[in-house]
Amino acid sequence: MMPDVTRFAPSPTGLLHIGHAYAALFAAQAGQFLVRIEDIDTGRCRPEFETAIFEDLAWLGLSWPQPVRRQSRHFAEYRQALDRLSGQGLLYPCFCTRADIQREIAAAAGAPHGPDGPLYPGTCRKLSDAERGGRIAAGAPYALRLAMDLACTAAGPLSWHDAAQGEQRAVPEQFGDLVLARKDTPASYHLACTLDDAAQGVTLVTRGVDLFAATHVHRLLQALLGLPTPRYHHHKLLVDASGRKFSKRDRAPTLKALRESGKTPTDVRALAGF
Ligand code: GLU
């Protein structure tokens, strides 16, 4: 049997910590391991963090095929996918600022929440073609949103498989009208990740259980864009001694700091449970 193709897909917005080591080692032991740099958000990503990612992974004893895919080099492919969704009548421009959305939600008591927070109240869905055209022609910045109900109807019922939690019925509706692109980020995480997993022939997506809900959206995008559906294995998140998950924000011990304090790759693998 062919080994699964797996991937570790960090964003170079900081140094890797022990939680990342767990995710990378998990992917590497589950199949033929790829590294992908998710640097869509060019404002937050830094080349020095990318260099540090490769150093840390090599230090841990991992190796991966070259060249590494960098999302920032593939904006044209993401654009093509957006054009395809647009051609299916599933996207609309949204001119709302964050403040506009907050105001609208505050005014409508009891706005529904999804995995990423309150759902978009649909303000810009009501605009006429003439209004949209006028604002775009006037240079107003806009995001592209997926008309979720139309997208779900177009795709029909969908399911996906998680190695830990079994067969799942896809419920992307819980996200509402998601943003798939913005002026400053030409593809959302969901779009770029789904397209890249297909382009790289990933057969088993391993990632933290914190991204479990995202897979409902990825499954929908696969159906709309005619992409294959990999299998998934959402794994546990490493937690510290007090039971909190390690994160950049909480200054989890970075692999660099562990290395500089004299820990060996074997020590760090053991700390991560490998
Ligand atoms: N780039 C994402 C992160 O840093 C990972 C995305 C994924 O594995 O699908 O959390």
219 inside domain: no
Which pLDDT score, from 0 to 100, does residue 247 have? Answer: 74
Q: For residue 9, how far is its CA from the centre of ligand 1 (angstroms)?
A: 5
pTM score? 0.95
Pairing of the two strands 179-181 and 166-169: unpaired
Which residues sit with their C-beta closer than 6 Å to ligand 1?
9-11, 38, 193, 207, 211
Do 38 and 81 lie in one domain? The reply is: no
In a domain, 215, yes or no: no
Q: What's residue 131's pLDDT?
A: 97
Residue 232 maps to a domain: no
Identify the three-state secondary structure at position 197.
helix
- Domain end, chosen from 200, 229, 249, is at 200
Looking at the domain assignment, is residue 129 inside a domain? yes
Are residues 50 and 85 located together in one domain of the fold? Answer: no
* 56 and 140 inside one domain: no
Spacing, Cα 236 to ligand 1 middle (Å): 14
The answer to whether residue 224 is domain-embedded is: no
Please report the atom of ligand 1 found closest to the CA of residue 193.
9
Q: What is the pLDDT of residue 107?
A: 87
> Does some domain include residue 207?
no
Q: What is the 23 CA–ligand 1 centroid distance (Å)?
A: 10
Total tally of structural domains belonging to the chain:
2
Q: Are residues 98 and 147 located together in one domain of the fold?
A: yes
Q: For residue 48, what are its two tokens?
A: 């020095």
- C-alpha to C-alpha distance for 208 and 223, rounded to whole angstroms: 23
Look up the CATH number of the domain holding residue 66: 3.40.50.620
CATH label of the domain that carries residue 109: 3.90.800.10
124 and 151: one domain? Answer: yes
Residues spanned by the domain of 112:
75-200
Q: Which of 50, 211, 248 to mutate to test the pocket of ligand 1 (most atoms within 8 A of CB)?
A: 211
Q: Using CA atoms, how far apart are residues 172 and 146, in angstroms rounded to an integer?
A: 11
pLDDT, residue 173, reads 97
Please report the atom of ligand 1 found closest to the CA of residue 23. Answer: 8
Ligand 1 centre and the CA of 134: distance in Å? 37
Q: DSSP E strands: which ranges in the chain?
A: 5-8, 32-37, 69-70, 91-94, 113-114, 117-118, 143-146, 159-162, 166-169, 179-181, 204-208, 231-235
| Residue 103 domain flag | yes
Which protein residue has the closest C-alpha to ligand 1 atom 2?
10
Q: Which of 176, 200, 224 is the last residue of a domain?
A: 200
Per the CB < 8 A criterion, the answer to whether 169 and 111 are in contact is no
Nearest residue by C-alpha to atom 10 in ligand 1: 10
The minimum-distance atom of ligand 1 relative to the CA of 207 is 8
Give the pLDDT of residue 249.
65
Atom of ligand 1 at shortest distance to CA of 206?
8
Question: Among 35, 24, 38, which Cα is nearest to 67's?
Answer: 35
Q: Are residues 99 and 185 in the same domain?
A: yes
Q: Same domain, yes or no, for 34 and 89?
A: no
Mutational test site, ligand 1, from 6, 8, 11, max ligand atoms within 8 Å of CB: 11
* DSSP letter assigned to residue 83: H
56 shares its domain with 82 = no
Per residue of the chain (274 residues), what is the pLDDT tens digit? Answer: 889 999 999 999 999 999 999 999 999 999 999 999 999 998 999 999 999 999 999 999 999 999 999 999 999 999 999 999 999 999 999 999 999 999 999 888 778 899 988 999 999 999 999 999 999 999 999 999 999 999 999 999 999 999 999 999 999 999 999 999 998 889 999 999 999 999 999 999 999 999 999 999 999 999 999 999 999 999 999 888 788 887 766 667 899 999 999 999 999 999 999 9
pLDDT confidence of residue 242:
80
The confidence score (pLDDT) of residue 244 equals 82
In a domain, 217, yes or no: no
d(CA 69, ligand 1 centre) in Å: 14
